[in-house]
A and B are shown apart, each in its own frame.
Chain A
Amino acid sequence: MIKERIVRGAGFTRALPIFFVLIVLVLATLPKYLGVMYQVKFVQAFILILLATMWNLLAGFGGLVSIGQQAFIGIGAYALVYFADILNLNPFVATLFAGIFCGLCAIPLSFLVFRLAGGYFAIGTWVVAEIIKLFTVQISALGGGSGISLAAFSGMGRETRIAAVYWSAVVTIVVVLLSTILLMRSRLGLGLTAMRDDNVAAGVLGVKVMRYRRIVFVVVAMGFGFAGSLIAMSNLRVQPDDIFSVNYSAIMIFMVVIGGLGTIEGPILGAILYYFLQDRLRDYGAWYLIVLGIIAIVTVLTAPKGLWPLITRDRISLFPTKYRVISPTKDGAR
């Protein structure tokens, strides 16, 4: 009798959780050994990984190609400053609230932008981000056009502050990555994976495409809110033109496309690659963005699935979310 087994990851992936716990422990103890400068660099890398993971969830799985997610980065950053400085909340509690606030904002906005599809959805989200920026600039309590500084940390010493930001970045990235993996392993994740492969077919099979898209849009907005408040915490200043900049979208798209759209590992790889590229090319000014653009075009045309599936040939998955069929023919059971 032929018996096929359906498994989610195999062999070495069972040892991975232990490995990840070790990584997290190492990351958590790093400030003891690393200088302030490296902590700042790690925070930057964590923010990039966070942004790439969220954009991938939205575009790679939800099929929602947005170039306006900086709206939620900006709302998150401003919300953090507002909750921490004006309402005098603990900055870490304020981060949580900033994320939730972004999720709440995303619900009505989704009804607006979901009226558009495809490429027009992309520009539509961008216009919404621009409108939110224009409104923010009008609010004098938030500093208007010149922006606002975060004062909540002013009582702290520099080293304590940077370590605090570092730890909140570690906590955020662990929570967000874990929730992403759990989400992708859930019923919702199965639906999203089906939508990634074929939208229409998934709908026919009973996946509630619209509802799932809305859920993803809201969840991802919360993630961007966390990222925005981390950015505000590490820069100590929020400026409307920077925080609502469409460059965030350009960077996110670059990281995800290079790493591998629609995989969980790819965007992380893309974020790490981008981090080092940016470190190297930063001194070249505008040329650096030109080079990024050319790399993106070449990747889209020659390796449309991105680097991760290319390197691993789709065989290795660090975060096992998909099922695969193990056929017993190897054992001679035919």
Chain B
Amino acid sequence: MVWTNAIVQGLLTGGLYALLASGLSLIFGVMRIVNLAHGDFSILAAYAVISVAMHTNLIGGIVLVLPVMALLGYFLQRTLLNKSLAMGVLSPLLITFAFSIIIQNVLLQVYTANNKSILTGRFSSESIKISKDLQIGLLPLVTFLAGVIVTVCLHYFLNHSQLGRALRATSDDPMAADLVGINNRHIYGIATAIGLFSAGIGGVLFGMRTQFAPSFGPIALVFAFEAVIIGGLGSLWGTLLGGVVLGIAQGIGSQIQPAYGILAGHIVFIAVLVLRPQGLLPKQMGAQK
């Protein structure tokens, strides 16, 4: 029964990794750049929610911070990243890495290195009893559902909306998209805005579930990255599956010994890379390639 429990908890955590990973995957799918500051943006959102919630309440904080994250993404893309895109593959990598260093250290200055968490009151301790030994926490369940909902929304957005079609067109061939009247620079901005919005949701849920510090951004990025690779590059559902597989691996690992949780996730990642480099669900889907 402990094992079932470990697997169920891991599966629910997987939704969080999928949330963090979907934005990373979308930005890569549309622009072929890897946002090395992705994890730091989610931690930034978590801190921002703490600050805003002090003046209003938790819901107010989330409602305010997430759109601001999207605006920040659009702004950074239109000002700095679009400029660097034209300069080869290296420049965007260097710039997002610099973002990562800057965000981490600004957070360190403002909030110190002490661990914090987003207080949710009773919400974080309530759970649904499935059987005598198996309980599902409400917060982990909400996290998982958020991962599924964001994946479904992204799928419908990319396949069934005007803007989503434009995103896919730019992803397939930016020059051809430009010829038929799509403004690529705007589309890139939209992609980063969605990316940071979903990173923000991930960060806020992450901050509700565990304590975090400014240095946690890279860890979040690594989990997101592993979910993308395990699931298969460029597949939305693959990313969700990758997140779940990573979560379950970590759950089983920590059941063996707490220190082995993260290591078990890494080992599954390496195993996929060696045995199935195209990932578990490599099918092309949505805007991704």
Chain A interfacial positions (CB closer than 8 Å to B): 59, 65, 67, 112, 115-116, 118-120, 122-124, 126-127, 130-131, 134-135, 246, 250, 253, 257, 261, 285-287, 289-290, 292-294, 296-297, 300-301, 304
Contacts and interface: CB of A to CB of B under 8 A. Distances in A.
A127 B228 CA distance: 13
Interface string B77-106: 000100110010111111101110110111
A286 B109 contact: yes
A59 B101 contact: no
Nearest to A137: B259
A287 B105 contact: yes
A191 B222 CA distance: 33
B28 interface: yes
Interface residues of B, number: 42
B266 interface: yes
Contacts of A67: 36, 97
B225 A120 contact: yes
B112 to A, nearest CB: 10
B34 A118 contact: yes
B277 A65 contact: no
B36 A293 contact: no
B266 A123 contact: no
A297 B98 contact: yes
B221 interface: yes
A290 B273 contact: no
B82 to A, nearest CB: 11
Nearest to B107: A286
A127 B266 contact: yes
Contact of B277 (A115, A261, A294): A115
Which has the most chain A C-beta neighbours within 10 Å: B87, B93, B101? B101
A116 B272 CA distance: 12
A296 B226 CA distance: 27
Contact of B102 (A115, A130, A290): A290
10 contacts: A59-B90, A118-B32, A124-B225, A124-B273, A126-B222, A134-B263, A253-B97, A286-B105, A287-B105, A290-B106
Contacts of B17: none
A289 B104 CA distance: 9
A193 to B, nearest CB: 16
Nearest to B262: A134
Given A124-B229, A134-B263, A301-B91, 11 more contacts: A65-B89, A116-B229, A116-B273, A119-B32, A119-B92, A120-B225, A123-B34, A123-B222, A123-B225, A286-B106, A297-B98
B36 A127 contact: no
Contacts of A118: 32, 34, 89, 93
Nearest to B106: A290
A65 B93 contact: yes
B269 A127 contact: yes
Contact of A304 (B80, B91, B101, B269): B91
A65 B33 CA distance: 13
A115 B95 contact: no
Contacts of A65: 89-90, 93
A183 B270 CA distance: 32
Contacts of B67: none
Interface string B10-39: 000000000000000000100011101000
Contact of B91 (A115, A122, A135, A300): A300
Nearest to B89: A118
A216 to B, nearest CB: 16
Nearest to B278: A115
A290 B108 CA distance: 11
A131 B109 CA distance: 29
A257 B94 contact: yes
Contacts of B269: 127
B218 interface: yes
B274 interface: yes
B28 A292 contact: no
Nearest to B34: A119
Contacts of B105: 286-287, 289-290, 293
Which has the most chain A C-beta neighbours within 10 Å: B95, B97, B102, B262? B97
B34 A120 contact: yes
A293 B91 CA distance: 13
A293 B108 CA distance: 15
B273 A131 contact: no
A148 B263 CA distance: 22
A112 B272 CA distance: 11
Contacts of B273: 112, 115-116, 124
A310 to B, nearest CB: 15
A35 B273 CA distance: 51
